[in-house]
Every structure is written in structure tokens, then in C-alpha cells.
């Protein structure tokens, strides 16, 4: 029996460059996909641009946003130890996964967009008809990816990601290094967002699956796992 393989890409950046305010991985954007994949017995590899410790945004640990699944994982010492030992992207670049999943958190805006290894991994997986998924600020990892033909991967694609209005609601407009929504549009993406900010929205465009914000975490995980299941059925 074939076991699906997922590469979970996380940030290694724990502070905003201009203020030193703490940031990192947004926990629920990792735990929900991890939980769904774990339940199905899928093989998961966790990697970040430089490997090692994965900082977790303290905002994502506050009771108002820390859902039951995320809290249970966070209270598990083995889970937290696992996050301290992410592999380096260089060490997995030769592997082909069934899905690569770019978890979010503001830290990704610093170490995802210009990482050449991450770009190469994304291009290879897209061109091998594998799922490329990204949620919230993790979508910033798609910004500078180019296909073999030299075009930006997201040009003409339906896509979502954390909106500028949501950045304002999160009180982070002055902290972030760029406007993600505007940057996606500048790359020629057909950017879409939920009518009501901070509500779930997930978009599938061929191999590309994107989620708008932390509140999309559960739906995002379900959609990605459904996509994997459908492809598995087709391949049999």
C-alpha cells in the first residue's frame, strides 16, 4: 500500500525585522494539516529554510485563537520537541512528495519569498503534477516562484492569502515587510478573499491550493487531504 508523503514547510524567523516583536509559525496553520495527515497514517517531513528550531507566534497561543486540536498538540512535549528539529530545505530538495504545504505565520514573510531552494522545490512539484498548498502568510513563498517557461507560477492563477484589511485588523500593517495582497496581484495572480475578513476561504486552482487566514486552517486541511485522496484513487 502506498503511503502519501507531505512536506510541511515552516518558518525559522521569530521576530519582525523593524521592531523585534515576536512572531513565527501560526500554530493552527500547522496543527490542522498535521492532525488530518497523522490520522490517515501519511508520512510527514517538517523542514524550514535553515532547519532547526521553529519559533511559534505567541499570538497564535492565546486562548481566543487556540482551538482544541492546536492546544492538545501544543501541550504534547514530543510535538514541541519535533518543532525544535525541523530539517533544512537543502536536505529534502532531492525528494519528491505528494504535497508540499507552506504553513503560515508572519515569520514566513522574511524567509520564504527569496529562498531559492524553496522556489526550486515548488517548481519541481508543480511541474510533476504534485499538490502545492500554502496558507495565510505562507502564500508569500509562492511570490517569486517561476515555472520552467520563466513565467511566475501564480500568474493568472486563482489564489488567496492574508488580506491587507486583515493585516490592519491584526494591527500588523506597520510591522510587515510588504503588503501580501498587493504583491500577489502585482505578480498577475487572480487574488480573491472572503467577503467577511477573518473567515475561512480556500481556493483550488489545478495543483495549487491556498487558504486565506488562520480561520481557514481546518477547511484547508480537509481540502488538501481530499485532493490527495482523489489523486490516489485516480492513480490506482
What span, in angstroms and rounded, lies between the C-alpha atoms of 220 and 214? 10
What span, in angstroms and rounded, lies between the C-alpha atoms of 78 and 76? 6
What span, in angstroms and rounded, lies between the C-alpha atoms of 157 and 149? 15
Q: Average pLDDT of 93-118?
A: 98
Is the pLDDT at 236 greater than 90? The verdict is: no
Can you name the residues that pair with 8 across neighbouring β-strands? 46, 101
User: pLDDT tens digits for 190-201?
Assistant: 999 999 999 999
User: pLDDT tens digits for 147-197?
Assistant: 999 999 999 999 999 999 999 999 999 999 999 999 999 999 999 999 999
Q: Please, which residues have CB within 8 angstroms of residue 38's CB and are 6 or more apart in sequence?
A: 44
Q: How far is CA 53 from the centre of its chain?
A: 17
Q: Average pLDDT of 69-81?
A: 98
Is the pLDDT at 140 greater than 70? The verdict is: yes
DSSP 220: H
What span, in angstroms and rounded, lies between the C-alpha atoms of 55 and 23? 7
Confidence of residue 234 (pLDDT cuts 50, 70, 90): confident
Backbone phi, psi, residue 168, to 5°: -65, -45
Confidence of residue 130 (pLDDT cuts 50, 70, 90): very high
User: pLDDT tens digits for 11-59?
Assistant: 999 999 999 999 999 999 999 999 999 999 999 999 999 999 999 999 9
Burial of 198 (0-12, 13-18, 19+ CB in 10 A): middle
3-state secondary structure string, 81-96?
Answer: HHHCCEEEHHHCCCCC
Cell 472572503 -> residue:
194
Backbone phi, psi, residue 117, to 5°: -65, -45
Q: Average pLDDT of 51-70?
A: 97
Is beta strand 87-88 parallel, antiparallel or unpaired with respect to 99-102?
unpaired
Q: What is the pLDDT of residue 1?
A: 82
Percent of the chain with pLDDT over 70: 100
**What pTM does this model have?**
0.98
Amino acid at each position: 500500500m502506498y503511503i502519501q508523503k507531505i512536506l510541511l514547510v515552516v518558518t525559522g524567523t521569530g521576530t519582525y525585522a523593524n521592531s523585534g516583536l515576536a512572531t513565527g509559525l501560526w500554530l493552527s496553520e500547522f496543527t490542522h494539516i498535521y492532525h488530518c495527515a497523522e490520522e490517515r497514517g501519511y508520512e510527514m517531513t517538517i523542514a524550514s529554510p535553515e532547519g532547526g528550531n521553529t519559533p511559534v507566534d505567541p499570538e497564535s497561543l492565546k486562548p481566543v485563537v487556540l482551538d482544541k486540536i492546536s492546544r492538545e498538540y501544543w501541550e504534547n512535549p514530543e510535538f514541541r520537541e519535533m518543532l525544535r528539529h525541523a530539517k533544512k530545505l537543502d536536505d529534502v530538495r532531492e525528494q519528491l512528495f505528494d504535497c508540499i504545504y507552506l504553513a503560515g505565520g508572519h515569520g514566513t514573510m522574511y524567509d520564504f519569498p527569496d529562498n531559492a531552494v524553496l522556489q526550486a522545490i515548488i517548481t519541481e512539484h508543480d511541474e510533476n503534477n504534485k499538490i502545492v498548498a500554502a496558507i495565510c502568510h505562507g502564500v508569500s513563498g509562492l511570490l517569486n516562484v517561476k515555472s520552467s517557461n520563466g513565467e511566475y507560477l501564480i500568474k493568472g492563477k486563482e489564489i488567496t492569502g492574508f488580506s491587507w484589511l486583515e493585516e490592519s485588523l491584526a494591527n500588523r500593517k506597520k510591522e510587515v515587510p510588504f503588503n501580501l495582497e498587493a504583491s500577489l496581484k502585482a505578480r498577475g495572480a487572480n487574488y480573491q478573499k472572503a467577503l467577511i475578513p477573518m473567515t475561512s476561504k480556500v481556493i483550488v486552482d489545478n495543483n495549487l491550493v491556498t487558504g486565506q487566514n488562520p480561520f481557514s486552517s481546518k477547511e484547508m486541511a480537509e481540502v488538501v487531504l481530499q485532493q490527495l485522496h482523489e489523486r490516489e484513487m485516480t492513480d490506482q
